[in-house]
Amino acid sequence: MSDSAFHYVDGVLHAEGVSAASLAQQFGTPLYVYSRDALTRTYRAYADACAGRRAVVHVAVKANSNLAVLNVFARMGAGFDIVSSGELARVLAAGGKAENTVFSGVGKSAAEMREALEAGVKCFNVESIPELHALNEVAKSLGKRAPVSLRVNPDVDAKTHPYISTGLKSNKFGVAFSDARATYREAHAMPNLDVVGIDCHIGSQITEISPYLDALDKLLDLVEQIESDGMSIRHVDVGGGLGITYDDETPPDIGDFVRALLAHIEKRGHGQREVYFEPGRSLVGNAGVLLTRVEYLKPGEEKSFAIVDAAMNDLARPAMYEAFHRIVPVVKRDAPAHTYDVVGPVCESGDWLGRDRDLAVEPGDLLAICSAGAYGFVMSSNYNTRPRAAEVMVDGERARLVRQREDVRQLFAGESILPD
């Protein structure tokens, strides 16, 4: 396994000190299992590399918004990066602080802006001129000034999957680099906005440092221009996006990544500025697995299928991005492996979790779908009226249920039939 929180003991997969087989027995499947130790170690890797610098780690809530996961980070003093007022409510419920939260996202509604201003978020990462106007109006109606940073699109190629690349001219995110200076002047002229920073977020599952350095160079050039226009930029937010090992990727080590960016900022003469990070996947991705049970084996001439009780509604990434997740047995069998497509019960050909996997399995066996901590449960749905999975957090020898498995009746509790 790529993360030592999940490892085998006598042929049985464990999460820290707890057997995954016993977790499945106790809580049922499909089951998301997170490791507190793994969450702690990735966060510490960021925080330790920031030590001695005015740098803040903001956990990207959308990658995994379970309250227990957010609380583990909040206890360590993390900031948060949210993309909706729903995520703000989660941060507050998990013990996070609004004044350490930045609000990102391309389509914030006036109601969301109001909630966030009233709660006192640290900064709005604004993505367009109309959004600046809207925020200025909302702030005015509350008699407040909203702290803003513009998300600038540096037009660099993050060399990642097109659906998760966000820093190119051709996608919907951010203010175009060529318009940014003028947009800052407009923001500065709005009486209820307070220009405080600049930000970018160039994509996700990025496995090289160079796209970040390219983006930083463009951002820092811009900061110099903006300051010569009479504004002061207190913080530079480099976004998230650092990749993890799903298969054979070799992303930079978290500490090396942070140190390289901070050193670059220093070298460019901007060492006095506060630096914000917004990691999601690299904090939580390898801190979680999805446990599932094999229902049926279906041999075929062209393909053989292992039909499991988890599906695309539980883990959407394979269906959505053709993403690869390692799939391993929970209890190793001493038997020859066969090649299977691991698929769920949902009525879609796109409902697969892994293709052409060599597995020695029998019906009833448990499998672990690895690296499922990021964009896993949060993207799950009730398609096919499937209740969403339970979530468990392991901490040493203990396991706690941190989200109950949904009940079918809950799924249609808000629905009603016509009276006549």
Ligand X SMILES: *Cc1c(COP(=O)(O)O)cnc(C)c1O
Span interacting with ligand X, options 46-54, 220-228, 233-241, 289-297, rule CB under 6 A: 233-241
Within residues 355-394, the interface with ligand X by CB under 6 A covers 374
DSSP string, 331-393: B--SS--EEEEEE-SSSSTT-EEEEEEEE---TT-EEEE-S-SSSSGGG---TTTPPPPEEEE
Closest approach of ligand X to the CB of residue 166, in Å? 7
CA distance 307 to 247: 22
Q: Which of residues 296-355 bind ligand X (CB under 6 A)?
A: none
Task: Find the binding residues for ligand X in span 22-81 (CB under 6 A).
Answer: 60, 62-63, 81
Closest residue to ligand X, judged by C-beta, is 280
Instruction: Select 242 or 353, whichever has its Cβ closest to ligand X.
Output: 242
Q: What value, to the nearest 5°, has the Cα angle with vertex 123 and ends 118 and 128?
A: 105
Q: Which residues does residue 56 pair with via DSSP β-bridges, in sequence order? A: 276
Distance separating alpha carbons of residues 251 and 282, to the nearest angstrom: 10
Residue 102 CB, nearest approach to ligand X (Å) = 8
Q: Using the 8-state DSSP alphabet, how is residue 235 labeled?
A: E
Q: Is 347 a catalytic residue?
A: yes
- Strand 6-9 vs strand 12-15: parallel, antiparallel, or unpaired? antiparallel
H or E stretch including 405?
none
239 binds ligand X, rule: CB under 6 A: yes
CB of 242: closest distance to ligand X in angstroms?
A: 6
DSSP 136-174: HHHHHHTT--EEEEEEEE------S-GGGB-SSTTSS-S
Q: Binding string to ligand X for residues 102 to 121, with x set by CB under 6 A, is what?
A: --x-----------------
Smaller CB separation from ligand X, 138 or 374: 374
Part of the chain binding ligand X (CB under 6 A), chosen from 238-246, 346-354, 377-385, 409-417: 238-246
- Using CB under 6 A, which of 122, 201, 235, 386 touches ligand X? 201
- Show the site string, 261-280: x = touches ligand X by CB under 6 A, - = not: -----------------xxx
Query: Looking at 50, 200, 347, 370, which residue is catalytic?
Result: 347
Q: Is 101 exposed, middle or buried (0-12, 13-18, 19+ CB in 10 A)?
A: buried
Q: Can you tell me the distance from the alpha carbon of 152 to that of 184, in angstroms, rounded to the nearest whole number?
A: 10
- Which residue number, 340 or 377, has a Cβ lying nearer to ligand X? 377
Positions annotated as catalytic residues are 347
- What residues line the site for ligand X (CB under 6 A)? 60, 62-63, 81, 104, 201, 204, 239-242, 278-282, 374
